[in-house]
Amino acid sequence: MPTKLSIDPDLLDRAFALSGEGTREAAVRRALEEFIARREREGLHGLLGTLEWDDSFDLKRARTRD
């Protein structure tokens, strides 16, 4: 879907140069993908320490076939 955006040309040029992509459109797409991935990881980070841990669980025993 074509979208018109007003993006700071200096910012776009910097992103394009750093991205290694062949087009400015690809550089913007990559920047958005990386932004989304980083925010999703930050959301998962908030879960640390919120799960209960079972110290009696034996991973090696659980992985063997009986």
What pTM, to 2 d.p., does this model score? 0.63
Model confidence at 66, in pLDDT bands (50, 70, 90)? Answer: low
**Where along the chain do its domains lie?**
9-63
Q: Taking phi first (over 0 means left), then psi (-120 to 50 degrees means alpha), and beta for anything else, what does residue 52 get?
A: beta
**pLDDT tens readout for residues 21-57:** 999 999 999 999 999 999 988 887 777 778 788 889 8
For residue 51, give the DSSP letter.
Answer: S
Name the more confident of 16 and 52: 16
